[in-house]
Amino acid sequence: IKIMLIAGARPNFMKIAPIARSFDKTNEIEYKILHTGQHYDQNMSDIFFEELGIRNPDYHLGSGGGTHAQQTAKIMVEFEAICEKDRPDLVVVVGDVNSTLACSIVAKKMHIKVAHVEAGLRSFDLTMPEEINRMVTDSISDLFFVTEEQGMVNLKKEGKPDSAVHFVGHVMIDNLYYQLSKLEKMPSETFKTTEYKQQHTRYGVVTLHRPSNVDDKNTLEAVIDSLSSISRTLPLIFPIHPRTRKNLETFGIKPAENITLTDPLSYMEFLNLWKDSVVALTDSGGLQEETTALGVPCLTLRKNTERPITVTQGTNELVGTSKKKLMVNFEKIMAGNWKTGRKPDLWDGRAAERITDIILAP
Ligand code: UD1
């Protein structure tokens, strides 16, 4: 079977890595990796390929930047030409970024089957571009690989046949365990983030990039003000997404001194930081799940989450952009009064193997 594995943005790279590694173990799959170029900075893209131990993309489209429509359209046009030439039997898309949407539409219209990894997640918030990407991709996919129970419920409600929907666990968590075991065998001085850890015995990590948090001046100012308050009690380190950096500069917002800004970090550097942090303050989707997997407290600066298991079973809490809610929960964490959580079912490091078995099943 000929498969095209699609990645475009930072959170995709760690999801395709375990799938590629699992495909490598069988000789029944002939696969190619296609990078859409949605993310293009060295530290948003190339660094991950080096570190995750996957081969360089077979195809690299230059579709980064621009508006949503421009980006999506560029990916579609270029991907169509590749499909025309290569004719894969199956296109595997992951997550919920514009590349996921663009490539699934192109494949489906060419009568190529589409498998969606991380299917069925819903925030029910249509102001999020990712929610639209998730809904459209799931509406046309042929095979659905689901990370948590609620995803199964959502897809059933949307009328998907049981035979197409598979609860397999989470490839991102497969990758987390894989990288963690590698990290534990390496001397800590390998990582430049170790220096920060040596200087700060207790610290929190911050990531912020959602348009709803960072694109509006007043909202971003309020969020940074909350983080600045926290940093008076707990030093924070903030690897900053290009979108967020640009907006801080445009709006002239300066985070407090105890918030250390860094360029975006590689997967291993960032893991080295957050796994030993007191709390993660984030609006990322993946980090909510990864902190749950390792039992690190997480406060999510969003009003909703498409990954509810991280709240019901894990260590995550939603705080929105309310400073009060953030501070109350932060104090609880500082007082050691936080839920320990449990690891969700099938987050066991074997999701990619299950996916491979299902793809190969007659
Ligand atoms: C995208 C995904 C989001 C994901 C995030 C992870 C969509 C709709 N959003 O958001 O779900 O959580 O990636 O990072 O697909 N930029 C650079 N260099 C890069 C990449 C981006 O400078 O390598 C800047 C550019 O100005 C670009 C802007 O960031 O226009 C936004 O990038 P884009 O890919 O559109 O969305 P993200 O905010 O990164």
Question: Which of 52-56, 79-83, 341-345 is the least confident region?
Answer: 52-56
On whether the CB atoms of residues 71 and 60 are closer than 8 A, the answer is: no
**Mean pLDDT of the region 70-77:** 98
What is the per-residue pLDDT for 331?
A: 98
Residue 298 β-bridge partners: 280, 316
Section 63-79 average pLDDT: 96
Choose the residue to mutate in 130, 137, 209 for probing ligand 1, maximizing ligand atoms within 8 Å of C-beta.
209
pLDDT (0 to 100) of residue 96: 98
**pLDDT value, residue 44:** 93
Is 170 part of the annotated catalytic residue set? no
256: exposed, middle or buried (C-beta count within 10 Å: 0-12, 13-18, 19+)?
A: middle
In this prediction, residue 40 carries a pLDDT of 94
Q: How many whole angstroms from 62 Cα to the centroid of ligand 1?
A: 14
Say what percent of the chain tops pLDDT 90. Answer: 97
| pLDDT score at 53 | 84
Ligand 1 centroid–CA 52 distance in Å is 20
Give me the pLDDT at residue 362, please.
Answer: 82
The ligand 1 atom nearest the CA atom of 246: 26
Look at 52 and 142; give whichever has higher pLDDT. Answer: 142
- Ligand 1 atom at shortest distance from the alpha carbon of 97: 15
User: What would the mean pLDDT of 117-141 be, rounded to a whole number?
Assistant: 98
User: Tokens representing 242?
Assistant: 């290009």
- Give residues with Cβ within 8 angstroms of 298, minimum separation 6: 279, 280, 281, 282, 287, 288, 291, 292, 310, 314, 315, 316, 317
Predicted TM-score (pTM) of the model is: 0.97
Note the pLDDT of residue 218: 97
Lowest-confidence range among 28-32, 61-65, 128-132, 275-279?
Answer: 61-65
Residue 166 pLDDT grade (very low, low, confident, very high; cuts 50, 70, 90): very high
Strand partners for 318? 300
Q: What's the half-sphere exposure (Cβ side, CA atoms, 13 Å) at 300?
A: 25
Atom 25, ligand 1: which residue's CA is nearest? Answer: 65
Ligand 1: centre distance to CA 332 (Å): 33
- pLDDT of residue 267 exceeding 90: yes
**pLDDT band of 50, cuts 50, 70, 90:** confident
Q: Name the pLDDT band for 229 (thresholds 50, 70, 90).
A: very high
